[in-house]
Amino acid sequence: MFIGMFRALQRLIISNTMKVMDFITLKNKNKLVNDVTLYPLKINKDSSGVLVETLRSDWEGIYGPNREFAMQYYSITDSGVARDENVWHYHPRIQEDRFLVVQGSIVAAIVDNRKESNTYGMLNLFYMEADHNPYILLIPKKTLHGFLVVSKMPAILLNFPTNLYNPQEEGRISFSEAQIKLDGRELFSWDKVRKEFSNLYPRRI
């Protein structure tokens, strides 16, 4: 009972923070970067615990030609920590990522870095929570991306990349070089996102 009340209060606090920045969720899907997909997951819960299917071969849009299973890994990241702090990740040729949070919550950022795309330059910020409206986030190839843990607890993130690890597919570009802006005005930084969630982990601010 008390855990449920705490979760509800936490979500209320989070909803109240989503006033300055526009965070995308399953219920708040504004204009998305081209080719980004949010695939909703079902939480099956009973007295013994929780079961969630995380990837199936019959999930169209998230699995299929060129999106078959290649590998899976997970990362554990502490509260308030970004991957990476001042550097964007991207996959320059073929790899797409499929992010899923199974503990805690994060904000994932995707920037369209493809000059041929009609959403070129667009920044999307996705709020992802393990135990409330979870989803897989498909990150298109060539787009810049990263994430920040915004829960008090460490976040566990699964990724099902569409290709085996290849160092040539691991691109990096610094924030100072990329010059990505929030709403075309201020330069993006993870510190700006932290301020939106400062009441959830005040010791990190």
**185-201: pLDDT as tens digits:** 889 999 999 999 977 65
Whole-model pTM? 0.87
Domain housing 135:
2-204
pLDDT score at 183 = 77
Q: Which amino acid is at 53?
A: E
Closest to 100 measured CA to CA, from 124, 126, 125, 80 = 126
For 74-94, the pLDDT digits (tens) are: 999 999 999 999 999 999 999
- pLDDT higher than 70, residue 16: no
Higher pLDDT, 38 or 184: 38
pLDDT score at 53 = 96
Distance (Å, rounded) from C-alpha 15 to C-alpha 17? 5
Closest to 100 measured CA to CA, from 26, 160, 15 = 160
Q: Residue 27 CA to chain centroid, in angstroms?
A: 15
Distance (Å, rounded) from C-alpha 189 to C-alpha 187? 7
Distance (Å, rounded) from C-alpha 190 to C-alpha 175? 10
For 96-142, the pLDDT digits (tens) are: 999 999 999 999 999 999 999 999 999 999 999 999 999 999 999 99
Enumerate residues 6+ apart whose C-beta is below 8 A from 159: 72, 73, 74, 75, 97, 98, 99, 100
Burial string for 119-130 (b: 16+ CB within 10 Å, else e) reads beebbbbbbbbb
pLDDT score at 170 = 95
pLDDT score at 4 = 54
Averaged pLDDT for residues 156-173: 97
Look up the CATH number of the domain holding residue 37: 2.60.120.10
Q: How many structural domains does the chain have?
A: 1
